[in-house]
Structure 1
Amino acid sequence: MCRLIQRKRIIGLLSLLLIAGSIFPGQAQNDNRFEVSKNLDIFNALVKEMEMFYVDSVDIDKTVRRGIDAMLGGLDPYTEYIPEQEMEGLKLITTGEYGGIGSYIRQRDKDGGVIIVEPFEGMPAALAGLKAGDRILAIDTIDVSKATNDKVSELLKGVPNTKITLTIQRPGEKKPRKIDIVRKQVVVDQVTYYGVRNDSVGYIYLKGFTDKSAQEVKAAFEDLRKNHNIKSLIIDLRNNGGGVLESAVQIVSLFVPKGSEVISTKGKIKQWDRTYRTSSEPLDTVMPLAVLINGNSASASEIVSGSLQDLDRAVLIGQRSFGKGLVQTTRDLPYDGKLKVTMSKYYIPSGRCIQQLDYTHRKEDGSVNAIPDSLTSVFYTSKGRPVRDGGGVRPEFEMKEKKIPSLMYYLAADYVLFDFITDWVQKHKTIAPVEEFVVTDEDYEALKQYAKEKNFTYDRQSEKALKSLKEIAEFEGYLDGDSTTLKALEEQLTPNLDRDFDRNKDEIKKLMAAEIVKRYYYQRGELLQNLKEDEVLDKALEVLADHELYTKTLSAPEKEKETPAEK
């Protein structure tokens, strides 16, 4: 009976997955439906034969899930199957809310073991005294000392106002602690911080697009305008991966006239094509506006930045955005699952689609090409300024993005920096306000010494490339003669912790400062720390302070003057 239910579940699920993309008119529709039916029969028979005759027992759910993920993964990264047990994650993306303790957790070891990485300000974990670095040993009576991240996350989430008891091991302490926590509805604010820069410039940092983001941006802007008398505004969308499309439209509507077209969507099913226009009266249509973006600004971030650019309402500053011009929607599946499927492409007011990767025409190895700039087309903003499709949104003021050395990457990803800061925080009960806090040279040297003691290693691409070069050179006989040049290069590229630390001293101190400040002042403090020396923000302040430059940037391009013909 159990096997029969499983087989029915497989057939029903795959039917919906395949039929969802099979709506074609006329003969093409009939042919495609035959292919769907034929392939479902083949897959059904395959699963039956495998389950009955494979030499070892087969986990049907895991096996079919691998097949589903591989099938959808061949389309694009955004089309995915979400079973019932993973629906909480989808809810968090769309609403920013869930029932739990309010913290980021991370699996510490490959074989399990989860620690608190970051408790959220004002949420149960922080209020109960949990700190970054605490290892979770048990949740109520369940031992999770070797559990995976998914398992611990599942146990921590639950109905608001229910109590759980965590047994944790705090670094530096011998005995475990027991901490009682009452779950609550955790609301993750999308406006991490807003405030005033240079006395009259409003600043709003938005980290994501949920169904409440527009309300948060509106409230922040109204407060800045009413209580701080701002004369211009910066909206920071850097590292904002997007989210709910309607929220992006609502944010644009705060700054452009009612009835303005923001985006249109076009897909296979023409009846579902839509045009989104602003439906409410704006808060302000004339205040100078700058939007900050980078390579991690995607989806809804690109709708906001691209639309405001196309409507000549804001100057964009930073780096070219990610280039995601695809729209997803969810479709119901059997057993309370969902299919998140790419249904259409979106086009911003100039008519351009900023999708950068072409998933339709993959290479033979399955890799995907970006659309080269030479194949993009020119479109025009409302005032006639030229803009291009096919490669994200390009800022009017494009800033060079700093490359992150591998040492910095591994310091951030590894536990050397994390553990050092955890130990540092235990020795410092308080720190100065964010505006005054600095990492001393003594702290920097202490981290370097700690990294040496922990045998910190960082795998550099140059070292890998050099090893391959040596192997090829040796194979082809180039090392038989004078190899002093190669040896000098090897010496230069061989990791040297003292040298590489000192080479990146300033950046390492910034990384340390951000992590330390976050432990005391949470995400808001970390953001303020990172804004201290921010070239993109400084450029935005410079542009907004220069009314002539701002106006000229958003003005219609001057027509070339005709040279009088010689007589």
Structure 2
Amino acid sequence: MACAARWRAWYSNFKATSIIGVMKITNIYSMVKGCARVVAIVVLMMMSATPLYAQESRTKADFELGKTTEILANMMREIETQFVDRVPADKILKNASRGIVLATDPYLEYLSESDMAAFEVMTTGKYGGVGSLIRKKGDYVVFAQPYKGAPADVAGIKIGDKILAIDGKDMKGANVEDISSNLKGDPESDVTVEVERCLDGTRESVTMRRRRISIPSVPYAGMLRDGVGYICHNDFIDGSYDEVRRSVEALMAEGELRGLVLDYRGNGGGIMQEAVDIVSLFVPRGERVVSVMGRDSSSLHHYTTSHTPLLQNIPIVVLVNGSSASASEILAGALQDLDRAVVMGTRTYGKGLVQSTHHVGYNNYLKITTAKYYIPSGRCIHARDYSTLDSDGRVGIVPDSLITEYSTRGGRKVFDGGGIVPDIKVEPEYVSRFALTLYSMGYMEDWADEYMRRHVGESVDVRNFSLSDEEYDDFCRFIEDKDVPYESETRQALTALRKAAESERYDETIEASLDALEQMIKDDKMSNMQIYRDEIVKAINYELMLRYAYQEGAVENAVANDKMVDDAVALILDDEEYRRILSEQDLHMH
């Protein structure tokens, strides 16, 4: 897949390497969990509740709010003073916020003072630090990806360099969050890091001057073939419009631009206005992109394009998948509704909500849903019924009764009910659990470090690089004595079948058949290395290109071997087929 960190997106259960922390809800005693929802309400409302003695003058709703607040405050006090074990109030609050989420809105989020720092990074893409991702490796944390031109990069830090100490403090045993906190600080302040070099094992003390780090939202943009350009856009943060615009201008400067592929796979959204501004690059000024409405119609607000377009006529293909959410869906949906682009991939996430952050006291905040958005056809792409969501929050199977038909500007049929359904459905390349296990264990990264030690000073053809047969055989030997805790989905299904057969008393009847089947699907590590060779090679290529050419080079190499990107280019170059898709009147089935 194409966009930066896409392999990490494929194993989203292993996100611990990120420098951006995610709030973890701590489970506490079952009694407190039983009170989670009610306790959360009192904690989050106490700051805004008016005195109880004024209840007589309130409306009925205000009276009920005050009454509930008083009751719940008393409940919280009783838990704090009478419960058999002492429970810190902050733990009650964190656990209770989970209760509110379950009861009202899965996207509602309580942000503590410490969480707000991570939230600021996610919305602005900026922080004070040295500019590198980090990951845990054994007893230490290592640099995982220095950003090009950032203080870490300028100081000569390489991927795999081990962090031994920071400002004289031993970092053995420290976790990723501790290291991240120590590396971050006020811009223009210095931090001294003792590192063990990955390439030669030498120790060195490196002093870096922190600065305001801006994480690029466009890791790569370039020409593919036959005049078709490509832009990988990772998230909608402050300045994303400017980055995308500069990328478009750079592509136009390279020569005749016959078409453009916009890659929004894995883009989880962000600032809505940035999406509106990016759409303005491709449609006339004054076009309505999205409308936002809260509880009542008086809150309706329309967002229209306000910039002079750069590309109004050339073919555009927008790539999406199940992780394309929120602002990504606004952009893809608006271009689809305006018949300005063909959308390719799989159904998007289905988050059609506008959220705002509100202060609730003591530097704590509540990120709450305040409105829904509607794209040009009038449809809301949000899942109306949360029961249709999969376990990961994505839209699952939506009943016909919850779907309404709409039309694009040219009369094509489109539907609401959850997510943007692409004009051309292309299933993502399958990634095996075995390959994900190798990646999550860090084996691909470790071997890439070994590779770089043997090829110091060498250069490569970034776009066309791929592991040779001999090099892959070397990786297989590297893996041979490694523990790979892996069980295939097929084997897991067989285990479940055995249990079901036993409970239904079929086990003796079919035991021989199950034993024979087990022998046929025996999980063998080295056999799997050959079965899943292609996807493993792609992942290793990505890691090596990070080391040779930063994030930009890793994405460029991945794009060159991305079938969906190839399909998008082929469609753009087939003018007749492209125009047929944008003019067909057949139902856009869900």
Q: Is the TM value for this pair above 0.5?
A: yes
Structure 1 residues 366, 386: closer, same or farther in 2, change over 3 A?
closer
| Alignment of 1:96 onto 2:131 | no
Distance in 2 between the 1:475 and 1:269 partners? 54
| Equivalent in 98, 101, 109 of residue 80 of structure 1 | 109
CA apart distance, 1:441: 1.5
| Alignment of 1:294 onto 2:321 | yes
| Equivalent in 283, 288, 292 of residue 310 of structure 2 | 283
Structure 2 length-normalised TM: 0.85
| Equivalent in 64, 71, 82 of residue 42 of structure 1 | 71
The aligned amino acid for 1:515 is E
Distance in 2 between the 1:499 and 1:279 partners? 57
| Equivalent in 7, 31, 45 of residue 15 of structure 1 | 45
The SS at the match of 1:554 is helix
Alignment partner, residue 422 of structure 1: 449
- For 1:77-226, list aligned pairs within 5 A: 77-108=106-137, 113-171=140-198, 176-226=203-253
CA apart distance, 1:31: 4.7
CA apart distance, 1:390: 1.4
Structure 1 residues 62, 558: closer, same or farther in 2, change over 3 A?
closer
- Residues paired across the two proteins, number: 540
Alignment partner, residue 507 of structure 1: 535
Structure 1 length-normalised TM: 0.88
Range with greater deviation from structure 2 (435-444 or 134-143): 134-143
The aligned amino acid for 1:122 is G
The aligned amino acid for 2:398 is P
Which deviations, in whole Å up to 9, do the C-alpha atoms of 1:211-255 show, x marking residues without a partner? 211111111112222342312222111111111000000011111
Distance in 1 between the 2:528 and 2:428 partners? 20
| Alignment of 1:555 onto 2:583 | yes
Distance in 2 between the 1:215 and 1:493 partners? 52
| Alignment of 1:497 onto 2:503 | no
Distance in 2 between the 1:73 and 1:142 partners? 42
RMSD over aligned CA atoms reads 2.9
Alignment partner, residue 290 of structure 2: 263
| Alignment of 1:409 onto 2:436 | yes
Structure 1 residues 432, 357: closer, same or farther in 2, change over 3 A?
farther
Please say if residues 327 and 344 of structure 1, whose CA atoms lie closer than 8 Å, have aligned partners that are also in contact.
yes
Structure 1 residues 496, 362: closer, same or farther in 2, change over 3 A?
closer
CA apart distance, 1:424: 1.8
Distance in 2 between the 1:366 and 1:95 partners? 25
Alignment partner, residue 17 of structure 2: none
Structure 1 residues 371, 35: closer, same or farther in 2, change over 3 A?
farther
Please say if residues 321 and 392 of structure 1, whose CA atoms lie closer than 8 Å, have aligned partners that are also in contact.
yes
The aligned amino acid for 2:446 is D
Distance in 2 between the 1:368 and 1:317 partners? 18
Please say if residues 388 and 398 of structure 2, whose CA atoms lie closer than 8 Å, have aligned partners that are also in contact.
no
The SS at the match of 2:158 is coil
CA apart distance, 1:494: 2.6
Structure 1 residues 545, 148: closer, same or farther in 2, change over 3 A?
same
Alignment partner, residue 264 of structure 2: 237
| Equivalent in 516, 520, 526 of residue 554 of structure 2 | 526
The SS at the match of 2:508 is coil
Which deviations, in whole Å up to 9, do the C-alpha atoms of 1:464-511 show, x marking residues without a partner? 332232233234433334633211221233311122111111221111
Alignment partner, residue 26 of structure 1: none
| Alignment of 1:374 onto 2:400 | yes
Please say if residues 351 and 379 of structure 1, whose CA atoms lie closer than 8 Å, have aligned partners that are also in contact.
yes
Structure 1 residues 146, 46: closer, same or farther in 2, change over 3 A?
farther
Which deviations, in whole Å up to 9, do the C-alpha atoms of 1:429-461 show, x marking residues without a partner? 134121232201222122222222122221333
CA apart distance, 1:403: 2.3
| Equivalent in 425, 439, 442 of residue 470 of structure 2 | 442
Please say if residues 192 and 206 of structure 2, whose CA atoms lie closer than 8 Å, have aligned partners that are also in contact.
yes
CA apart distance, 1:361: 8.6
| Alignment of 1:323 onto 2:353 | no
CA apart distance, 1:534: 1.6
Which deviations, in whole Å up to 9, do the C-alpha atoms of 1:86-125 show, x marking residues without a partner? 222222222211111111123446xx74332211111112
Please say if residues 73 and 79 of structure 1, whose CA atoms lie closer than 8 Å, have aligned partners that are also in contact.
no
Structure 1 residues 248, 368: closer, same or farther in 2, change over 3 A?
closer
CA apart distance, 1:199: 3.6
Please say if residues 290 and 316 of structure 1, whose CA atoms lie closer than 8 Å, have aligned partners that are also in contact.
yes
Which deviations, in whole Å up to 9, do the C-alpha atoms of 1:255-296 show, x marking residues without a partner? 112211111112225443321111233223222222111222
CA apart distance, 1:33: 3.4
Please say if residues 358 and 371 of structure 1, whose CA atoms lie closer than 8 Å, have aligned partners that are also in contact.
no
The aligned amino acid for 2:461 is P
CA apart distance, 1:13: 5.1
Alignment partner, residue 536 of structure 1: 564
Distance in 1 between the 2:229 and 2:476 partners? 39
CA apart distance, 1:301: 0.9
CA apart distance, 1:177: 3.3
Distance in 2 between the 1:304 and 1:138 partners? 45
CA apart distance, 1:171: 4.9
The aligned amino acid for 1:208 is D
The aligned amino acid for 1:287 is I
Distance in 1 between the 2:240 and 2:553 partners? 20
CA apart distance, 1:32: 4.2
| Equivalent in 452, 461, 464 of residue 489 of structure 2 | 461
The SS at the match of 2:570 is helix
- RCO greater where, 1 or 2, for CA within 8 Å and sep 6 or more? 2
Please say if residues 358 and 368 of structure 1, whose CA atoms lie closer than 8 Å, have aligned partners that are also in contact.
no
Distance in 1 between the 2:237 and 2:380 partners? 23
| Alignment of 1:486 onto 2:510 | no
Please say if residues 196 and 228 of structure 1, whose CA atoms lie closer than 8 Å, have aligned partners that are also in contact.
no
The SS at the match of 1:494 is coil
Distance in 1 between the 2:428 and 2:422 partners? 13
Q: What percent of counterpart residues are identical?
A: 35
The aligned amino acid for 2:544 is I
Structure 1 residues 221, 440: closer, same or farther in 2, change over 3 A?
same
Alignment partner, residue 25 of structure 1: none
The SS at the match of 1:538 is helix
Structure 1 residues 172, 39: closer, same or farther in 2, change over 3 A?
farther
Which deviations, in whole Å up to 9, do the C-alpha atoms of 1:170-227 show, x marking residues without a partner? 4576664322111111111111111212241122111111121111111111222234
Range with greater deviation from structure 2 (499-508 or 423-432): 423-432
Alignment partner, residue 23 of structure 1: none
The aligned amino acid for 1:195 is G
Please say if residues 357 and 369 of structure 1, whose CA atoms lie closer than 8 Å, have aligned partners that are also in contact.
no
Distance in 2 between the 1:167 and 1:61 partners? 36
Which deviations, in whole Å up to 9, do the C-alpha atoms of 1:42-92 show, x marking residues without a partner? 332233333334444433222322212332354334221122222222222
Alignment partner, residue 380 of structure 2: 353
